[in-house]
Amino acid sequence: MNALLKRVWIGMAAALIASLAATVLPDHVRIADDGRIHLGAPESMASPSAVAPTPESTSPPLTRDAVDEVIRTAVSAAGLDPEQGRPTVAAGAAMNRTGWAAVREKASAQSEMDAICADLERQGWTLNPNGDRPQASRSYKRGGWYLVVSTRGQSQAPSTTSGSTDSQTYLTLTGLQLNLSDIPLPEITVRIR
């Protein structure tokens, strides 16, 4: 019985890791029709039914200050004052992370998120649709940064932001710099039964 439970836990852990990897690294993770997960597999090994990832625009690497300006511009384009929210990472605290969050009315948060996303696309950010839920969160990439726009949950909001009521939600933009192009990934195949 212990061996069976151990196999179940290992299988569940592998599925969770693969799901998270597919969300964060869609260019490096492929799930074949037969249930096999390929990490770092060359393009020739990909399943014929796999959807080709959207290529990232060839833009120079961005600095945190540039991403902060992108966030301010997108928030302003949505008709919001960036000062209505708060930064989720203190200035100078981390050069590879940034963000902004504000408590918004649920009735308007979706349209504000849509306007922010439209401005990000206008600014040249590439939509990264893997794992997105259009009504709750969308992720974009550009210049080594990933930017997630979300209208749900308190878990992503900074602790200094006041709590929300039932008619309110958090509108957040979370930026994370990842330079994955220099990391060679070995080919790993996992079969989940």
Number of domains in the chain: 2
**pLDDT of 18-32, one tens digit each?**
666 666 666 666 666
Q: Is 15 exposed, middle or buried (0-12, 13-18, 19+ CB in 10 A)?
A: middle
pLDDT score of 187: 61
Let me know whether 44 and 80 are in one domain: no
3-class state of residue 150 by DSSP = strand
**pLDDT of 32-55, one tens digit each?**
666 566 665 444 444 444 444 445
Let me know whether 166 and 86 are in one domain: yes
Taking the CA atoms of 134, 140, 146 and 148 in sequence, report the sign of the dihedral they define: negative
Residue 158: pLDDT over 50: no
3-class state of residue 160 by DSSP = coil
77 within 8 A of 119, measured Cβ to Cβ: yes
Residue 186: pLDDT over 70: no
Q: Which domain holds residue 14?
A: 2-55+182-191
| Residues written for the chain | 193
Q: Report which of residues 34 and 66 the model is more confident about.
A: 66
Task: Average the pLDDT over 161-183 and give the result.
Answer: 74
pLDDT score of 19: 65
Let me know whether 96 and 133 are in one domain: yes
- Nearest CA to 169 out of 120, 101, 118 is that of 101
Average pLDDT, the chain: 75
Let me know whether 136 and 78 are in one domain: yes
